Amino acid sequence: MAADGGRGAAVAVFLISFLELDAIMNMRHKFRTVIGGALLAVGLVAAGNANASVVMSGTRIIYSAQEHEVTVKLTNDGKVPAVTQVWIDNGDPDADPATIAVPFTVTPPMARIDPGKTQTLRILYTGQPLAQDKESVFWLNLLEIPPKPGKELADTNTLSLAFRSRFKLFYRPSSLKGEAADAPARLTWRVVRDGKSAVVEASNPTPYFVSISELELGAVGQSAAKADGAMVGPGETTRFKLTGSIPSGSDTAVRYHAINDWGGEIEGSTAIQAPQ
């Protein structure tokens, strides 16, 4: 998010990811003892771009069952030190990190990363039973706590809010059949009724999660699309509400972009199945 203002202008600085704004505001009291004054220093300053400084290598984490641990690298691309807090949840973004029960530990849970430096996270599976016939999904949370204003802003009121990012963590048993890269092409698609509207339904017969980033349903003279992503779990069915005119003829095809293990896109196209 960019806040545009000239020198001396009074505009608010909101250092936060919009996708996680509600979750962080709801959890603010849970982090009070950790974040303290670094999370909220209230006021107004002239602002430039507001972006997270700490970035993670990759957009998702694959934890293969045969691995003893998985490592993830964090890099501070900013110009000032940053403090990070990390934890893993099981899908509830509002859960209190102090009470979450997941079969993983991540170390170090908090770290200071100087500008241009890196920090390696170690993720370890603690051995609690998980499904062995399909993947399980968890979420790695990365909270970046901004530093206190420097001396140049000592006499200026400021507002600083932390960035929070969440990354999918997939636990992959070693005995799964097939390959994760082939799973998007094995989805089956249908147009079904959902109340008064038509929606597209995807069924996943594979033991892998399939993350769809873009979806378009097209036929001659008609098309409908979904620009935001969704995930279809192993053995599950997910419905996609599209924007546009949803075709349902025999020439209708689904064109999709799925995300692979490395965060890249897999493009594919498949015919819509006849309604049952």
| 62-85 pLDDT tens trace | 999 999 999 999 999 999 899 999
Sign of CA dihedral 263, 267, 271, 275: positive
Q: How do beta strands 237-240 and 197-203 pair?
A: antiparallel
Q: Which domain holds residue 187?
A: 180-271
Look at 29-38, 84-93, 159-168 and tell me which has the smallest mean pLDDT.
Answer: 29-38
Please indicate, yes or no, whether residues 204 and 109 belong to a single structural domain of this protein. no
Residue 131 belongs to some domain of the structure = yes
Q: What is the pLDDT of residue 25?
A: 35
Look at 17-26, 76-85, 223-232, 240-249 and tell me which has the smallest mean pLDDT.
Answer: 17-26
Predicted model pTM: 0.78
Q: Structure tokens of 164? A: 């929070």
Look at 59-63, 130-134, 247-251 and tell me which has the smallest mean pLDDT.
Answer: 247-251
> Among candidates 13, 15, 16, 17, which has minimal Cα distance to 44?
13
Give the pLDDT band of residue 244 (cuts 50, 70, 90).
Answer: confident
Residue 13 belongs to some domain of the structure = no
Q: What is the pLDDT of residue 194?
A: 80
Q: What is the mean pLDDT of the chain?
A: 80
Q: What is the pLDDT of residue 159?
A: 64
What tens digit of pLDDT does each residue of 149-189 get? 666 655 666 666 788 999 999 999 999 999 999 999 999 99
Look at 54-63, 99-108, 240-249 and tell me which has the smallest mean pLDDT.
Answer: 240-249
Residue 32 belongs to some domain of the structure = yes
Q: Which residues pair with 21 in a beta bridge?
A: none
Work out the angle at residue 231's Cα, subtended by the Cα atoms of residues 226 and 234, and round it to the nearest 5 degrees: 140
Q: Structure tokens of 126? A: 């603690």
Strand order in the sheet with 110-113: 60-64, 163-172, 136-145, 82-89, 110-113
Please indicate, yes or no, whether residues 90 and 134 belong to a single structural domain of this protein. yes
Domain tally for the chain? 2
Mean pLDDT of the 81-110 span: 95
Decide if pLDDT at 147 tops 70.
Answer: yes
Please indicate, yes or no, whether residues 38 and 65 belong to a single structural domain of this protein. yes
